[in-house]
Structure 1
Amino acid sequence: MSQEFVRDGATPTPELVAAWLALDDLRAESVPMWAANWLVQGYDGAALAELAGLSGRDTREVRDVLPAALAETGVRPLSSKDAAVRVAFDHIANQHLSGRTRWAWVVNQVVDVLYRAGEECEAFRQPLGELYGIDDEAGEPWSRTDDELARIVRQACLDQTASHRR
């Protein structure tokens, strides 16, 4: 999921990387390049520079340095899987609302996040979590039309981003 999560070759935010780490969906071999980009963006720190200098082949080494590097960007470890899911869902919603992704991509990403979070997670109660199961409808003769499904996904994305302003 994590590589597909970043569209147009963009560098994920440190917070999103922390969410992938918490959801055990981190492509560690990509992290050193992201760390290098974070340095260019103005973040600073010895651990971050060390992380940027790694090749990414030794994923254990990347994972060992990553928490300290994230702390230097101001990102603390996420307190729970629920917090990680919220970060992931917010990113998915923003990708869709900015026109970078189609509704089917959103649904596929939501299903993957929910699978990684587990059934005990509160994620199903978040607006995007309520999309679970829509992936079974797409293309079936009994399903709602693609336009209807697209409207439902868009509204869930709007609700997801609005849920923080309440």
Structure 2
Amino acid sequence: MAYVERLPWWAAQWLADGFDGTAVRELAGLDASDPHEIHDLIPGAFKDMAIPIPTSLDAAQTVFHNIARRFTTGTLNERDVAREVQQICMLNGHPASFAQLPLGELDTVHDEWEGPYGRPPTELKALIHQKCTEHLTPTTPPPYARYPVPRTGEIGRTLETAGETRPPAQRPGEPRH
């Protein structure tokens, strides 16, 4: 779900935020020319920072939460929401599990908007508004709102804004509270 070419930059941000480890340092030192090498270092970098690898559903929930927040703040319009949701679903092979999330139900709405066979735009806009509202009113925050992310950049905006509160990040070697 992430743009692989941005991961070295994010790793540099993680280092700047005090998260260290061999894989994080190696990742931060790469450029975007070898996405396979970047991809291979991701599990080790997450292990260095004591972050479990998210499931596709957990990652989708977090990203969808961010999309819904960006819609409610006016950063995205209804068509943008439909396009971004469809891209995320498409990149992950349109898993049925995403449909259990409010925004996951919008997987095909972008096609309706662009094609001659869809519902009227006013109905699509109302549906997107409803699903964004539903997505922002879960009983618990997105699962990855509590893990360390850079304070700046796309991933920071995506994950830090996903949850209203999160405990201070644990630095490697610090005791767990």
In the alignment, structure 1 residue 123 sits paired with structure 2 residue 98: yes
1:51 corresponds to: 27
Whether the 8 Å CA contact 2:23–2:48 is kept in 1: the answer is: yes
1:158 corresponds to: 133
1:134 corresponds to: 109
Shift of 1:128: 0.5
SS for the counterpart of 2:52 is coil
Structure 2: distance between partners of 1:156 and 1:91: 13
Shift of 1:155: 2.2
Shift of 1:120: 4.7
1:76 corresponds to: 52
Structure 2: distance between partners of 1:142 and 1:89: 23
Q: Find runs of 4+ consecutive structure 1 residues off by over 4 angstroms.
A: 139-142
1:110 corresponds to: 85
Alignment size in residue pairs:
140
1:82-115 Cα deviation digits (max 9, x unpaired): 2332223223222222322121111011112222
2:173 corresponds to: none
1:31-63 Cα deviation digits (max 9, x unpaired): 111211222233332321221111231222212
Structure 1: distance between partners of 2:57 and 2:11: 25
Over the matched positions of the two proteins, sequence identity in percent amounts to 29
Structure 2 unaligned regions, length at least 5: 142-177
Structure 2: distance between partners of 1:118 and 1:44: 33
Whether the 8 Å CA contact 1:131–1:153 is kept in 2: the answer is: yes
TM-score of the two chains, using structure 2 as the length reference: 0.65
Whether the 8 Å CA contact 2:89–2:95 is kept in 1: the answer is: no
Structure 1: distance between partners of 2:117 and 2:94: 29
Structure 1: distance between partners of 2:35 and 2:63: 22
**Higher mean C-alpha deviation, range 88-97 or range 101-110:** 88-97
More helix, by proportion: 1
Whether the 8 Å CA contact 1:127–1:159 is kept in 2: the answer is: yes
2:148 corresponds to: none
Structure 1: distance between partners of 2:18 and 2:52: 18
**Higher mean C-alpha deviation, range 30-39 or range 132-141:** 132-141
CA RMSD between the two structures: 2.6
In the alignment, structure 1 residue 29 sits paired with structure 2 residue 11: no
| Amino acid in the other structure paired with 2:16 | V
Whether the 8 Å CA contact 1:35–1:52 is kept in 2: the answer is: yes
Structure 1 unaligned regions, length at least 5: 1-19, 21-25
